[in-house]
Amino acid sequence: MTDTAHQITQDRLYFPECRTLTGTLAFHAARIPEHPAVVTAQSTLSYHDLDGTSNRLARALADAGAEAGTRIAVIGHESAHYYELLFAVAKIGAVLVPVNWRLSAPEVAHILNDSQAMFLFADGSTDTAEQLPSVTMIRYDTSDYPDWLDRFDDAPVIPDTTENDPIAQLYTSGTTGLPKGVVLPQRSFFAIGDLLAEAGVDWIDWREGDVSLIGLPGFHIGGLWWAMQGFRAGITNAVMPFFSAEHALALFSRYRVTTGCMAAAMIQILLSDPSVSRRTFASLRKVIYGGSPISEDLLQRAMTILRCDFAQIYGLTETGNTAVCLPPDQHRPGTTRMRAAGRPYPGVECRIVDDDSRTLPVGVVGEVHLRTPARMLEYWRLPEATAATLVDGWIITGDAGYLDSDGYLYIHDRIKDMIISAGENVYPAEIENVLAGHPAVHDVAVIGVPDERWGEAIHAFVTVTAGAQIETRSLVEFASTRLAAFKLPARYHIVESIPRNPSGKILRRELRAEFWSGRDRQVN
């Protein structure tokens, strides 16, 4: 073991001195300045250049009025610019607000207004930003952008921040229908790595020469968290503008990707490309997947073609991403264990409780609570919602599940009615609130139904206002201008009434029964 590598074993990388974003980048810029930090199909950015450019950008932002605590938003396809901005924001103690470029203009406007973002960085991949004149927009895909940065030097910018200070604010939908800003501290991106290293566990590990595919976008906690694991290890991070088989395979071919993080639906898309073969993935040694469970058929096919280790991760934005992992040695198709989300990392706790918050015994289904050092600080400007979700250090997940005698967690249902489609979290209330605004809609209910490709598809039940007429096309057109495409129902069902209990709550189980009959759990 060398003095500088601080490895767990001879070939596993771990740098305990890297505990903040700025400390991590400065460490590797000095240790391996010319090593590629971010690569795309067209370009390479070294750790030295990433450090220097983010220094200039930090100075430019400070000159424009940004300071500690300032919210700085970004929307657009993935690129090296995203990571330059991430580290620049960290260097002035500000907070990055990544925005999903697939959202509609009203959805983006809510996030910008709620976060009180001072700046919005954008590229030409979406015209949504053009409809939001209330925020100072900076286009990093124009010639003016490098000219602006060149006005400032690249001398080191050292912030007065710690691992407990906020660094990111990611928006997640909720049962009220309005996205909430989850404020995450810097430790959210380092705590799990520390726990794995301290326990000597290699469920997620890094080695010299690793090239990591960032399959999940940076506006998701999974994408941001995964990228930071690669930066901490000082390896190369391969970035594509958005996930597609074409983009991913180009990176595999050019850079010989060794590890990556994807949603199950992304693995299916990748394997469905007619050009893939075992040789395509010869360099691959491990795939981390999450966002939704993987079917055993898809896993078996992936294991046959990819011929590498697999690890499943489960967590929430509120837990700082992964809190539970199904490690490679438990990936045995045909076994009961394959239905598990995994077991908590060393140092992470999981409990199952009843409606009175009493801990339930092994095998009994209840609500899943998680306690992790990577957890969120708060929901931005929502103290009551924070208090309801973060209780005595525990994150109340809203998922229903049980633990087996070995401590493995099995997710059974979703208490909060969330739908997961292609790895995207979608809440029925958000869609219902939009559809209820249609002049011909009297009542509406939305559920998730099984879908072989996406895990779940969105299904809307609609009742029509007396005397009105409605066509599905009208509902589709109405919703498409107000919701992101991934939130749009795949099917509309006109019904006479929506089942509700005496207090008016939608009886979703009655609506779901037809579609989920014969399945032993209500998630797909």
Give the residue-averaged pLDDT of 329-341: 88
Kindly state the helix (H) or strand (E) to which residue 462 belongs, with its residue range. strand 455-464
Mean pLDDT in the chain? Answer: 90
Rounded to an integer, the average pLDDT of 134-156 is: 93
Of 268 and 396, the structure prediction assigns the larger pLDDT to 396
User: At residue 107, does pLDDT exceed 70?
Assistant: yes
| pLDDT score of 28 more than 60 | yes
Buried-state track 433-444, b at ≥16 Cβ within 10 A, e below 16: bbbeebebbebb
The 10s digit of each residue's pLDDT in 358-375 is 999 999 888 999 999 999
Q: Could you tell me the CATH superfamily of domain 419-516?
A: ANL, C-terminal domain (3.30.300.30)
Evaluate whether 40-189 and 419-516 have a shared fold. Answer: no
Residue range 51-93, pLDDT digits in tens: 999 999 999 999 999 999 999 999 999 999 999 999 999 999 9
Average pLDDT over residues 201-224: 95
Domain boundaries, the chain: 40-189, 419-516
Q: Residue 96's closest CA among 117, 114, 76, 78?
A: 117
pTM of the model: 0.84
Higher per-residue pLDDT: 399 or 213: 213
20/429: higher pLDDT: 20
Tell me the average pLDDT across 439-459.
88
Q: Check residue 348 and give its pLDDT.
A: 98
CATH number 3.40.30.10 is the correct assignment for the domain at 40-189: no
| 432, 438, 442, 443: CA torsion to nearest 10 | -10
Q: How confident is the model at residue 502 (pLDDT cuts 50, 70, 90)?
A: low
* 392-397: long-range pairs with CB below 8 Å, 24+: 394/349, 394/351, 394/369, 394/370, 395/316, 395/318, 395/319, 395/323, 395/369, 395/370, 395/371, 396/367, 396/369, 397/316, 397/318, 397/319, 397/367, 397/368, 397/369, 397/370
pLDDT at 259 over 70: yes
Q: Quick one: what percent of the chain has pLDDT higher than 70?
A: 93
